[in-house]
Amino acid sequence: MNEIEVKAKLNNEKQVLEKLTEAGIKLSPSLSQQDDIYVALGEDLCGNKKKNVLRVRTQGKEIIFTLKRSRTNELDCIEKETKVSDKKALEDMLDQMSYKKVISVSKKRRKGKFEDLVICLDEVEGLGSFIEVEKTSAEDGEAIQEELFNFLESLGVKREDRVFKGYDTLKYDSINQKGDKNDS
């Protein structure tokens, strides 16, 4: 099974929250997440060079280690994860396997469920507010993504607000663009 998702910049949070409430979808209290993203030495976080991306997520006292491998695009991934009891030992293992931390992403997340969908409202430090809808499926990722975005449209999200990259890549791109501007 693969994690397939779509996301969009959230420009009208109040309207989306009203639509979620009308649909009977309850969101969890806000939860802080700190994601440290690792790639193999010599690999880039962006573009087609992306092979395995490893994430170490700290969520309260919980540490979750995740492997993501893109299938058709960045938001259609084979995803495997497990809880870890010793973050420092995991970081040492990643270093020994020649993985380097390339970016950290901090966010506050509220989650809800609707049928077989997971809905996340995220406030991402340095990037803003987003809505994300996920589904686990073995079916064609792009077809499922279209189905998921149709759901977002039913909440009032517009096509032009769709985002095709993960928060890690968005933040990485943002930092590199600022660096490019400063180099000019």
122-147 b/e (C-beta count within 10 Å ≥ 16 → b): bbbeebebbbbbbbebeeebeebbeb
- Report pLDDT digits (tens) over 108-165: 999 999 999 999 999 999 999 999 999 999 888 889 999 999 999 999 999 999 999 9
At residue 44 the predicted structure's pLDDT band, cuts being 50, 70 and 90, is confident
**Structural domain range at position 151:** 2-183
**Quick check: 47 pLDDT over 70?**
no
pLDDT for residue 161: 97
Amino acid at 101: K
Of 46-55, 139-148, 174-183, least confident by mean pLDDT is: 174-183
CATH number at residue 151: 2.40.320.10
- The structural domain count of the chain equals 1
